[in-house]
Amino acid sequence: MVLALYVICLTVGFLVGVTGVGGILIPPALILLSGLDAHTAMGTALASFLPLGLAGAWLYRRLGRLNLAEAAPFVLGGLAAAGPGALLNARVPGGPLIALLALLIIFAGFCAFRPPRAGAGERRFWQRRGGVFLIGAVTGLLAGLTGAGGPVLSIPWMVAAGFAPLSAVALSMPYMAATALSGTVGNWSGGHVDFGLLPMLCLVETAGFFGGVAVARRISAWLLRRIIGAVCCGLGVFLLVRQLMS
């Protein structure tokens, strides 16, 4: 069971390295394979995304793909909302949280099937500071609440709003680090982070991330989107059915 968990974490890190999404698979993997309750699984998963976000921000900044001034309102929105979301997590029963997580996974799966849209030239509301802050706040709240990680929602939202897909992925990296940090503070205060399991999760996910970045240009993005979509939809339906039958 532990080996299967690490394989999933390695795969998730790889998917994040290639596409920016994949972290939403960690909470259900922890629930199913580690024996953690839903709240602790979600809190531990969110904490494990901090090294991924920091590594991604460093890499995209080094590649010249990340504009920190553009990322600032996005990051601030995530910082403002992930902590309250984590505190809310401690007050919501585990059953509804699992159902919400399953629906988010299914949503992310359908979004992964959609082809990316090119960025729009006009400055729409969602591309201005206020809109970007709101995207960060809403998805940060959901990240703190479910431990799913914000980019799985923020990236398809930003692409739909007219951001170029690569820009959305680059902006998601410091945002991921911010929501993980803010949400972990809230989860830690409620005792919902397994610090014994956390270091190995971080190590395996980060190793997978750099592997994903290394091979990203050699793998068809079309195929990867469909693999992610199929896995997310299948796992989400499984969790939802499992919760409804329990």
Q: What is the per-residue pLDDT across 11-38, written as a single tens digit (0 to 9) for each?
A: 999 988 887 877 878 888 898 898 898 8
Tally the domains of the chain: 1
Three-state secondary structure string covering 38-98: HHHHHHHHHHHHHHHHHHHHHHHHHCCCCCHHHHHHHHHHHHHHHHHHHHHHCCCCHHHHH
Q: Which of 192, 144, 150, 239 is nearest to 36 (CA)?
A: 192
Is the pLDDT reported for residue 108 higher than 90? no
Is the pLDDT reported for residue 71 higher than 80? yes
Three-state secondary-structure class, residue 130: helix
Categorise residue 22: left if φ over 0, alpha if ψ from -120 to 50, beta otherwise.
left
Angle at 53 between CA 47 and CA 59, to 5 degrees: 155
Which residues are within 8 A (CB) of 157 and not within 5 positions of it... i.e. 6 or more apart?
126, 135, 139
Residue 69 and residue 170 in contact, taking contact as beta carbons nearer than 8 Å = no
Distance of CA 93 to the CA centre of its chain: 22
pLDDT at site 120: 46
pTM, whole model, 2 decimals? 0.78
Domain that holds residue 94: 2-245
pLDDT at site 119: 46
In the chain, pLDDT over 90 holds for what percent of residues?
Answer: 23
What DSSP line would sit under 179-222, residue for residue? Answer: HHHHHHHHHHHTT---TTTHHHHHHHHHHHHHHHHHHGGGS-HH
